[in-house]
Amino acid sequence: MSSTFSSSDSIRRRTNRDLTSKNSSISTTNITTMPLARTIERNSVSLPNSPQKTYTLASNLPTQYEENDSTEEKVSTKKTLDIPRKNSGSSQKTGITSASAASRRSVNHDVLPVMRGRSNTDVQSAMSTSNNLRQQQANISGSGSDKTINHHNNPRSQSPTSPKPKCTLPTTLCQPGYVTASKLFNMMGYGLQNQYLFMLAHYLYIIDCRSKEKFSESHIITAIHWEDALSGAVYISIVERFSEIVLYDDKGIFFNTSTEMRRVSNRFSPSGTKTCLTLSGGFEAFRTLFPFACTQSDIRSTVDREKFLTIYPSVVLDNQLYLGTGHQATNWKVVRDLKITHIINISIEHHCVFTDKIKYLHLELEDMEDVLLKDRFDETIHFMEAAFQNSSSRILVHCNLGISRSTTILLAYLMKTYNATVLEAFKFLRHRRPIVSPNIGFLRQLIEYEYELFSHTYSDPNDPIFH
């Protein structure tokens, strides 16, 4: 019995060893052969030819490639949408852009997935090819973001075919601390209700630094003799409240002021405070241009100002061009004093009342944004050019308040005559009349006119200076 059990155990153990060895062999065979089978199966897949297969393989790329592909799609879509807005009517250029975009999409989906299993050098080569195509696309159609900016700010902005002619607007030759006669005259008429005359008695303070005899003969209206100023006829505390203090003598030579002027200047503008201005050319220069603004009377009180003073239009070009209100254009004293020969009336509020003495151009237009004032630019510019053929002609341009309609017409004239952009002409005019402000519709028409003149848009209607 014992021998029988031993023999059976021996057989059982041998059988178990055989089974174990067999399982181990099978396991080893599976581990060895299965990766090989997978490798063969993977390499046997043909390269993608159809868009559908390409898309399937591309979806298995790493996240890096998925993000690049998505970005390229967005950029391509943006460029395709932007180009027709800027180049409407140019089918040829749009076609080129579409083809380029399609080419880029083909590169992104066909080339990069194929390079997925290749060396880094091949991947860099493929990306370089894609970048080259991207650069060609940018050269053809430009940056999408740049075009978006141009579309919103300057829809017609493009590189000018030729350089813009140099702006030839007159420049004021005046040293710092000096003011010209025309500038002083305009300062005396700033504001709708005229601060100098009625609203602010302390707006402008003019001090005559000549002798008492010359002052009595004639002086700028409302000026105070320097001796009265220093003796306390006007208190120092009050003088400090004035917006501007202007001094003048006989000639007003640069840096050659009289002793009296230096004394007054030191008294009313001590170191560290607002500097007094000096009238360039002195009293003689002012009286030559504006004799009607000089007097023998001593005008100081508000009552005297209302009785003796007149509000005049602003001087745009000396002895040539003026910008004012409808009430000034219907005041014969103003028209006579300025020797006006032509009037451009751009209003429905005021009539042309001096037709027997003045040559008129009447544009019955309202101050509304949708009014096509641009359609009358050529007519008014021709009228002005014809008038200036005679050197003695003087033109007054007005609307109701001298702010919007008349300003627009004058800006167009300055742009055409002096090769000025809207911005250049506007700065020039605002220096002479600070209240000018065309409505937004007229401003956009001026910018369109700028494009017609120079084949390029230089000014931005959103520039804060216009508002």
Taking the C-alpha atoms of residue 197 and residue 191, their distance in angstroms, rounded to an integer, is 10
Query: Which residue do the tokens 């002895």 mark?
Result: 319
Asked if residues 249 and 209 have their Cβ atoms less than 8 Å apart, the reply is: yes
CA distances 36 to 32, 207, 289, Å, are 7, 106, 105
- Bridging pattern class, strands 244-248 and 178-179: unpaired
- Residue 397, H or E segment: strand 395-398
User: For residues 250 and 284, is the Cβ–Cβ distance under 8 A?
Assistant: yes
CB 429 within 8 A of CB 316: yes
CB 196, CB 203: distance < 8 Å: yes
Can you tell me the distance from the alpha carbon of 54 to that of 110, in angstroms, rounded to the nearest whole number?
Answer: 6
**Which tokens is 396 given?**
């007054």
Q: How far apart are CA 105 and CA 99, in angstroms?
A: 10
- Show which residues are catalytic: 399
